[in-house]
């Protein structure tokens, strides 16, 4: 019964949003952050990739010979606002990543209309397939003559991620063989293999398709996705996995400056998994892992014995 009520609570949050709403559309403004990484970042719509927002280092030439790993994002509430988690996504892009979110920039054009709602059920405004469309596009652009991304994308280093409903989308595409890691944030499959969100599958059996290391970032016991995410973590077998809880609830730290603590954790995970940075791996792996003694978080791990 408790899990059922949690599922209903997650639905309510997707419909209404917490105080820091996961599905709100704010659009770009003069206070846009550029991230704290080496490469100040921007976001834009690209005419070669409809219904997506691309976050990237502003000056691609500053990368030199460094290539951009890819971080594909599903929005909170599966919304069509590709800027709803912009602080988080700009921060990641500023550390040398190509970030692609489903949706559009609301200030530039109206967001696509949401699909008709079924009685007592929500529908996703962006399809799960949008995440794989982003992967396809990155691979094409890396090879397309005349693209300013030609030869600059590390197409063999791709992560999928998302918040809440977007995290469910990421889980559903994480089995794609091109994916090298998954980061699931404030999310987890609903129990009983049933989804209250039309167009988004929720099947615990899908966890068996995971073939790469996976990180869950949850908001602690007050996060309405906590039980679902922790249950996912306990079921995962055969691949390295970790779950980190930050006691901030379902709203996470997405709207905090530079995406807050969660964005820092994601950057470290990506630097380890996609760039092979050993110092970043030491925050998660080994007997004295950095996050193991960090009072801001709790961490559980399996299969992460070495950085």
Backbone angles phi, psi at 241, to 5 degrees: -150, 155
CA nearest 228: which of 255, 196, 266?
A: 196
What pTM value is reported for the model? 0.88
Tell me what pLDDT residue 32 has: 62
Nearest to 112 by CA among 121, 102, 122: 102
* Close Cβ partners of 54 (under 8 Å, ≥ 6 residues apart): 43, 44, 45, 46, 98, 99, 100
Cβ atoms of 110 and 52 within 8 Å: the answer is: no
Please give the pLDDT value at position 1.
34
In order, the DSSP letters of 39-50 are S-EEEE--TTST
pLDDT at 121: 61
pLDDT one digit per residue (tens) for the chain, 307 residues: 344 333 434 444 443 333 333 333 333 443 467 999 999 999 999 999 999 999 999 999 999 999 999 999 999 999 999 999 999 999 999 999 999 999 999 975 544 444 444 444 678 999 999 999 999 999 999 999 999 999 999 999 999 999 999 999 999 999 999 999 999 999 999 987 778 888 898 999 999 999 999 999 999 999 999 999 999 999 999 999 999 999 999 999 999 999 999 999 999 999 999 999 999 999 999 988 999 999 999 999 999 977 7
d(CA 137, CA 127): 16
Q: How far is Cα 128 from Cα 135, in angstroms, rounded to an integer?
A: 12
Please give the pLDDT value at position 21.
35
């Amino acid at each position: 019964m408790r899990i059922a009520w949690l599922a209903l609570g997650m639905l309510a949050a997707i419909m209404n949003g917490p105080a820091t709403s996961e599905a709100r559309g704010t659009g770009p403004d003069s206070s846009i952050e550029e991230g704290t990484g080496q490469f100040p970042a921007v976001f834009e719509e690209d005419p070669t990739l409809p219904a997506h927002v691309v976050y990237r280092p502003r000056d691609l030439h500053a990368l030199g010979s460094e290539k951009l790993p890819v971080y594909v994002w599903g929005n909170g509430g599966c919304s069509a606002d590709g800027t709803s988690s912009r602080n988080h996504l700009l921060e990641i892009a500023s550390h040398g990543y190509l970030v692609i979110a489903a949706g559009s920039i609301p200030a530039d054009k109206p967001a696509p209309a949401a699909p008709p709602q079924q009685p007592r059920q929500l529908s996703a405004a962006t399809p799960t397939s949008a995440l794989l469309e982003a992967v396809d596009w990155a691979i094409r652009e890396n090879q397309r003559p005349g693209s300013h991304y030609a030869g600059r994308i590390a197409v063999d280093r791709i992560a999928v991620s998302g918040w809440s409903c977007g995290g469910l989308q990421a889980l559903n595409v994480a089995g794609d063989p091109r994916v090298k890691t998954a980061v699931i944030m404030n999310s987890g499959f609903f129990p009983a293999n049933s989804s209250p969100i039309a167009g988004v599958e929720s099947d615990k059996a899908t966890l068996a398709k995971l073939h790469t290391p996976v990180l869950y970032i949850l908001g602690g016991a007050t996060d309405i996705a906590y039980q679902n995410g922790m249950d996912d973590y306990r079921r995962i077998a055969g691949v390295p996995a970790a779950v980190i809880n930050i006691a901030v609830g379902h709203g996470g730290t997405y709207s905090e400056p530079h995406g807050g603590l969660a964005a820092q954790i994601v950057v470290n995970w990506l630097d380890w998994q996609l760039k092979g940075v050993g110092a970043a791996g030491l925050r998660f792996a080994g007997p004295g892992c950095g996050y193991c003694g960090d009072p801001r978080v709790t961490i559980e791990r399996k299969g992460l014995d070495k950085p």
